[in-house]
A = this chain, B = another copy of it.
């Protein structure tokens, strides 16, 4: 009988408010009922400005692209440890990583989805910091978080928070940038110093103290790339050297395009503190991760224009030409060393730095 129903007004209450100062993630936050809705509405939607779940529907409906524009999609799981590090955290990293994967295809990043996998007991205050950081990074980049999901696993079956993101962008008609486009004679540029993200994570994880704190370079690259492409439409390849670093990305491109690459070690920009830390730890900065740099392969005739455009942008001030694409069906990456010798720059083998992103 209707008389047994709760009083009017009680219906919309989602239970006692979340305690953002002392509360922790509970299994019920992932069960799909009242507690999940409460977490989504009071924490995630506030932080992310989520279009998708604000309607409460299973998916987000988005406007059509402009005529002729193609879709670009990229995805990334983020399991960085520690979650907070100098220069950033897993939230902004998850945004930047996927925005950059879309941008290096030459596309304008538009939308992001974010799946959170939380460990029972994770502090809500930390979750809020992470979500706010992800939301801010997306807003700063003009990217809308359009759908999200939250799951919770038992204590000891996860590690605080993992975030998987997928990005969608719009690629203008006629633009064709990708790892197979490198041609002998092309110039190879890097937009700045290498290795900061990897060394910042490692220093934090191992509680290493250096004279100056090494800060992650995590940043969204799409405005830098816009400026680059306006000045140098003859860009053949772009890629952000994240896991595996500059050396691995150059090997990937060489293999994809069936070309060789000739590098000049002396001009590859490395900050003095990163170089010193690498020396101490026996690491090679060429294999350390970056989260705010882009490798550019461009027609030689446009190399100077491309460099000038990169250097005119705050994220590209130390852009440098570091090498040349050469003919080599074997796809070797080789380097003239600082000592004047030559050596092969191979793929990353093994696990130099696990859980770097």
Residues in A lying within 8 Å of B, measured CB to CB? 1-2, 4-6, 8, 11-12, 15, 26-28, 30-37, 52, 55-65, 67-79, 100-102, 104-105, 107, 111, 113-117, 146-154, 156-159, 162, 164, 166-169, 171, 178-180, 239-240, 242-244, 248, 252, 255-256, 287, 289, 330-332, 334, 341-344, 347-356
Q: Are A166 and B32 in contact (CB under 8 A)?
A: no
Q: Are A31 and B105 in contact (CB under 8 A)?
A: no
Contacts of A149 in B (CB 8 A): 75-77, 164
Most B CB atoms within 10 A — which of A12, A76, A180?
A: A76
Closest to A166 in B: B166
Q: Are A331 and B63 in contact (CB under 8 A)?
A: no
Cα distance A179–B53 in the bound complex, in angstroms = 11
Cα distance A312–B61 in the bound complex, in angstroms = 29
Cα distance A166–B178 in the bound complex, in angstroms = 23
Contacts of A117 in B (CB 8 A): 77, 79, 117, 162, 164
Other-chain contact of A347, B34, B62, B243 (Cβ < 8 Å) = B34
Closest to A247 in B: B33
Q: Are A1 and B342 in contact (CB under 8 A)?
A: yes
Q: In the complex where A330-B11, A344-B4 touch, is A55 in contact with B116 (Cβ < 8 A)?
A: no
Q: In the complex where A33-B244, A59-B101 touch, is A344 in contact with B162 (Cβ < 8 A)?
A: no
A194 to chain B, nearest CB (A): 15
Contacts of A244 in B (CB 8 A): 31-33, 36
Closest to A26 in B: B351
Contacts of A105 in B (CB 8 A): 57-59, 61
15 A-B residue contacts at CB 8 Å? A4-B343, A15-B349, A30-B354, A31-B350, A33-B244, A57-B105, A58-B104, A58-B239, A60-B73, A61-B178, A64-B68, A64-B70, A78-B151, A152-B354, A164-B164
Closest to A331 in B: B11
